[in-house]
Amino acid sequence: MSSSLTISTGDASRLGANVRPDGINFALFSAHASKVTLCLFSADGQTETARLDLPARTGDIWHGFVSGLRPGQLYGYRVDGPFAPHQGHRFNYHKLLIDPYARELFGTIIQHDAIFAYDLSHPDKDLSVDTRDSAPYIPKCVARESITPPAFNKPSTSWENTIIYEAHVKGFTQGNSQVAPDARGKFSGLKSPAVINYLQELGVSAIELLPIQSFFSEPRLIELGLTNYWGYNPFNYFTVHQDYGDADEFKAVVQALHAAGIEVIMDVVYNHTAESDERGPTLSYRGIDNASYYALQENKRFYVNHTGTGNTLNTAHPEVLALTIKSLHYWAEEMGVDGFRFDLASTLARGDDGFDHRSDFLVACENDPILSKCKLIAEPWDIGPGGYVLGQFPKGWRGWNDRFRDSVRSFWRGDAMAHKELAARLLGSADIFDHSDKSAHSSLNFITSHDGFTLNDLVSYQHKHNHANGENNRDGHNHNLSDNMGVEGPSDDVKINNARLQRKKNLLASLLLSQGTPMLLAGDEFGQSQNGNNNSYCQDNDITWLNW
């Protein structure tokens, strides 16, 4: 490796790789590092062409300027510092790290033992050190030119006129013969005339997309020959999942949907990352500054796990909060997104004593000139202590109302005394949301979502059938309030099928006629089935692709 490049001080004014007329400025946050090295790569991402130590540190921002570099330059970081897991530090200079502020990635993560900072075969597990270079298996960051955010002509639909349609980018169009073959399952499929006309005829005002930010499948799933299909396992918050297309294609989708009067809401996952617990891979944040990016237990070797995924992003840290807010700005301003649904939102709003409705994150959203104008939706729970906080998010937020879901299911199943609960749910769940000057639309009502049975399966299966997930049917909820109406699964009995159809109509009518903001799961309108699988997060196949 040889290079004639030189690096100067640069500045700390903006994190990430910032292209200038005469070169590129690089800036990276790390409070506990002893050295940060910029690694440059050839255009094919295969050869590391230069290593340059960032020469300056302003506060906790390491920075440097390399003259002569052009837009499109591939890069990554190696960060040195103490390897002291019991103190929360897991630096490993042998691992190439993704810039948290990268706007584009080249290549994908390749499952290999080298992406772990410890030796998987060592008896000490995560207390050991792996010295293999992970660069061949890690995507490279791409230095992109900054752009002036375009002027989006957003529909700005009022909440009282909002009907949300929850869909998966791939699953929505993969099986649609009216979409061009090369666009099926991609961003571009969402802007095809057949799709836009369908959404308009259906009468929905917004499409809520399951995660599209870069995500990675858990090693366990890869070993089973499965993938994290839903995408709730992010490793970068500024880049799109490459299987769907690139950022420009996503922006074109947003513009096409806006032109049709349809808003775009992103399902975002700022509660955890794909690096998982102490046994997970080192891709970015863990290797840059583990003790800052993650919430750690008293024994700092281990991670706080309010999310059930292995780690919890530490949004209480100012730099982590800033990363969250700036990435939301990127999607809202540069991509034109109209709103966000926050997965396990309780985690983002935790303080020292549990949920805090005046947490730094919630206050930042409330006071932010961009985010305060976006549609903000909370999944108001996590698995940590006091994590269920339905109705407690601030005015302006909408909350996924699982009590509406359960009450309506229970009533139409014929459960005793269910009508008492139903009355409150049909009237906007005022017992939950009628405080702090909240509107009647604060309750986001749904019967089904990506998480659980489809509407058709709700009236066709008494029990979950998740054997395809590789966990011997142990995963997924057991309490579904479902009713197979006499036969488990598909039936040839006309009476049963007619009864099921009527039940589905009753459920949808209850949803659409209730006070609150309704959300419809894609495919429910035409009887989509997942064969009784109520936890299809790892099924990238006919189980989840809509059967048009």
Nearest Cα to Cα of residue 294 among 277, 280, 281: 277
Q: What is the pLDDT of residues 32-64, one digit of tens each?
A: 999 999 999 999 999 999 999 999 999 999 999
Q: Is the pLDDT of residue 331 over 80?
A: yes
DSSP state of 360: H
Q: What is the pLDDT of residues 451-493, one digit of tens each?
A: 999 999 999 999 999 999 999 999 999 999 999 999 999 999 9
Query: Mean pLDDT, the chain, as a whole number?
Result: 97
Residue type, 490: P
The pLDDT value given to residue 152? 80
pTM metric for this prediction: 0.97
Residue type, 285: Y
Complete domains list, the chain, with CATH: 7-142 (2.60.40.10), 164-267+314-526 (3.20.20.80)
Q: What is the pLDDT of residues 131-170, one digit of tens each?
A: 999 999 999 999 999 877 777 899 999 999 999 999 999 9
Q: Which sequence positions are flagged as catalytic?
A: 343, 379
How far, in Å, CA of 152 to CA of 371, rounded?
15
- For 168, 172, 229, 308, 529, the CA distances from 233, given in Å and listed in that order, are 15, 20, 10, 12, 25
Mean pLDDT of 2-15: 91
* Residue 2's pLDDT band (cuts 50, 70, 90): low
Mean pLDDT of 207-224: 97
The pLDDT value given to residue 1? 64
Q: Is the pLDDT of residue 3 over 80?
A: no
Q: What is the pLDDT of residues 356-402, one digit of tens each?
A: 999 999 999 999 999 999 999 999 999 999 999 999 999 999 999 99
Sorted by sequence, the CB contacts under 8 Å of residue 301 that are 6+ apart come out as 85, 86, 88, 126, 127, 278
The pLDDT value given to residue 401? 99
Give, for 408, the enclosing helix (H) or strand (E).
Answer: helix 402-413
What percent of the chain has a predicted confidence (pLDDT) above 90? 96
The pLDDT value given to residue 147? 77
What percent of the chain has a predicted confidence (pLDDT) above 70? 99
Mean pLDDT of 206-210: 99
Cα 28 vs. chain centroid, distance in angstroms?
Answer: 23
The pLDDT value given to residue 378? 99
Cα 146 vs. chain centroid, distance in angstroms?
Answer: 24
